[in-house]
């Protein structure tokens, strides 16, 4: 039996750390068309309030410069699945259905970053004096472009990386290293495989896609409920509490068996949310907010924004079921909120719901 190559050893260690797929790309070759598209995205103002993207735009062209790791030769791209089975999801707290799947459990920025760091440490110890830097969301890296270059997956029409056989319910991470690998170890783009399918585009509740592969984040539910900080009372009510899975739910590539339950335990909804309802989210004070969002990605959005999103969800529930008790309780909590921003949104939504009921009576 031949000795394991360094790439084999990295794959084996990544599997031990719980990653579902590993691929390698040359890190000393700058991005081409992907970077050009990114610059166009910034220049047309599509980033909205995500100014951190524009602040480090030039750094995103390459990995071997001062911004990431001078002398980098290889980027190790890893994917970790978080999809859970339908039965497991049905047993989750009701509030979880308003939260994107990746954000229902523990904050992956904490536990998954640690695993990427351990993979980086393995590279440094196995191949001294080479350097390795672990990355997960916080560095100026176009991670989907590098994952596609490495052949980890392909970018679908919704802009997400789809890993063949595993789908798009995956979190990405990278280890950039000065370690070179054999030419045969580097992957190659596998090419887009969506064909004529446009299920993800048609499923978007806010029509956030200008064209296939072209998302305007400013209309995206995930952007509106996570990134945006200056919501107006004139905005359309939110469709979700935090994030959105609509474009992934309908993707044919996601119709695959979920990982073993033990591998997705970290993404199970917090048990402390078992009795939480929308009204409770609307009424959170500072202490309550810290308790509700503890060890959760929901901490990324301010308390008042979370409350406003909950009000939006309630208003949409009342549009289809005017007597829904949970939704009515949420709007009532908003109207009496000590937060003027939350109160203003609630008052407007109460009027909107009332107008809708009045119009329905007139049509009847």
Q: Over range 34-39, report the average pLDDT.
A: 95
Helix ranges (DSSP H) in 44-171: 51-55, 86-90, 108-126, 143-150
Contacts of 260 (CB under 8 A, 6+ apart): none
Tokens of 187: 């992957």
Among residues 263, 326, 262, which one has the least CA distance to residue 98? 326
Query: What's the pLDDT tens digit per position in 225-283?
Result: 999 988 788 789 999 999 999 999 999 999 999 898 889 999 999 999 999 999 999 99
Q: Over range 336-361, report the average pLDDT.
A: 84
User: For residue 164, what are the CA distances in angstroms to 144, 169, 191, 356?
Assistant: 15, 11, 11, 45
Query: What's the pLDDT tens digit per position in 71-121?
Result: 999 999 999 999 999 899 999 999 999 999 999 999 999 999 999 999 999
Among residues 113, 245, 275, which one has the least CA distance to residue 169? 245
Q: Residue 82 has what pLDDT?
A: 96
Q: Residue 73 has what pLDDT?
A: 98
Q: Residue 282 has what pLDDT?
A: 98
Inter-residue long-range contacts of 335-340, CB under 8 Å, 24+ positions, other chains counted = 337/282, 337/283, 337/307, 339/304, 339/307
Query: 325 and 359 in contact (C-beta within 8 Å)?
Result: no
User: For residue 283, what are the CA distances in angstroms to 55, 102, 241, 305, 311?
Assistant: 35, 24, 14, 12, 11
* HSE-CB for 69 with a 13 A CA cutoff: 23
Q: Residue 231 has what pLDDT?
A: 78
Residue 358: pLDDT above 90?
no
| 137 catalytic per annotation | yes
Q: Residue 225 has what pLDDT?
A: 96
Backbone angles phi, psi at 186, to 5 degrees: -80, 135
Give CA–CA dist 98/79, Å, rounded.
25
Overall pTM > 0.85: yes
Strand order in the sheet with 74-81: 21-26, 74-81, 170-177, 132-135
Q: Residue 359 has what pLDDT?
A: 57
1 pLDDT tier (thresholds 50, 70, 90): very low
Q: What secondary structure letter does DSSP report for 291?
A: H
Q: State the Rg of the chain over Cα.
A: 22
Query: What is the SS3 assignment for 154?
Result: strand
Let me know how long the chain is.
364
Tokens 């000393």: give the residue.
28
User: For residue 308, what are the CA distances in angstroms to 8, 317, 332?
Assistant: 49, 14, 13
Q: Is the peptide bond before 194 cis (omega within 30 degrees of 0)?
A: no
Query: What's the pLDDT tens digit per position in 285-334?
Result: 999 999 999 999 999 999 999 999 999 999 999 999 999 999 999 999 99
Among residues 236, 353, 233, which one has the least CA distance to residue 304? 233
Query: 183 and 225 in contact (C-beta within 8 Å)?
Result: no
Given 28, 34, 137, 245, the catalytic residue: 137
Mean pLDDT for the chain overall: 94
Q: Residue 117 has what pLDDT?
A: 98
Q: Over range 124-151, report the average pLDDT.
A: 96
Residue 362: pLDDT above 70?
no
Q: Residue 363 has what pLDDT?
A: 54
């Amino acid at each position: 039996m031949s000795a394991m190559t360094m790439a084999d050893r990295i794959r084996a260690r990544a599997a031990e750390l719980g990653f579902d797929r590993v691929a390698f790309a040359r890190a000393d070759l700058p991005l081409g068309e992907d970077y050009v598209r990114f610059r166009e995205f910034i220049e047309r103002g599509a980033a909205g309030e995500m100014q951190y993207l524009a602040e480090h735009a030039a750094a995103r062209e390459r990995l071997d410069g001062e911004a990431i790791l001078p002398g980098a030769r290889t980027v190790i791209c890893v994917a970790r699945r978080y999809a859970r089975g339908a039965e497991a999801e049905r047993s989750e707290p009701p509030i979880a259905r308003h939260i994107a799947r990746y954000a229902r459990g523990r904050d992956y920025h904490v536990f998954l970053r640690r695993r990427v760091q351990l993979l980086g440490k393995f590279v440094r110890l196995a191949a001294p004096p080479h350097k390795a830097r672990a990355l997960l969301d916080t560095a100026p890296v176009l991670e989907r472009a590098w994952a596609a270059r490495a052949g980890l997956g392909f970018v679908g029409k919704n802009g997400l990386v789809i890993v063949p056989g595993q789908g798009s319910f995956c979190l990405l991470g990278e280890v950039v290293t000065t370690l070179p690998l054999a030419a045969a170890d580097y992957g190659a783009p596998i090419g887009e495989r969506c064909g004529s399918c446009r299920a993800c585009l048609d499923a978007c509740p806010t029509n956030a896609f200008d064209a296939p592969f072209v998302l305007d984040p400013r209309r995206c539910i995930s952007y509106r409920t996570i990134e945006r900080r200056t919501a107006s009372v004139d905005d359309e009510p939110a469709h979700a509490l935090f994030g959105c899975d609509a474009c992934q739910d309908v993707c044919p590539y996601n119709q695959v068996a979920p990982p073993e339950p033990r591998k997705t335990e970290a993404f199970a909804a917090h048990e402390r949310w078992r009795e939480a309802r929308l009204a409770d989210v609307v009424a959170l004070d500072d202490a309550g907010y810290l308790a509700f969002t503890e060890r959760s990605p929901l901490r990324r959005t301010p308390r008042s924004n979370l409350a406003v999103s909950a009000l939006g969800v309630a208003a949409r529930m009342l549009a289809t079921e005017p007597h829904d008790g949970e939704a009515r309780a949420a709007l009532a909590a908003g109207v009496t909120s000590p937060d003027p921003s939350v109160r203003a949104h609630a008052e407007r939504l109460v009027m909107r719901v009332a107008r809708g009921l009045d119009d329905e009576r007139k049509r009847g």
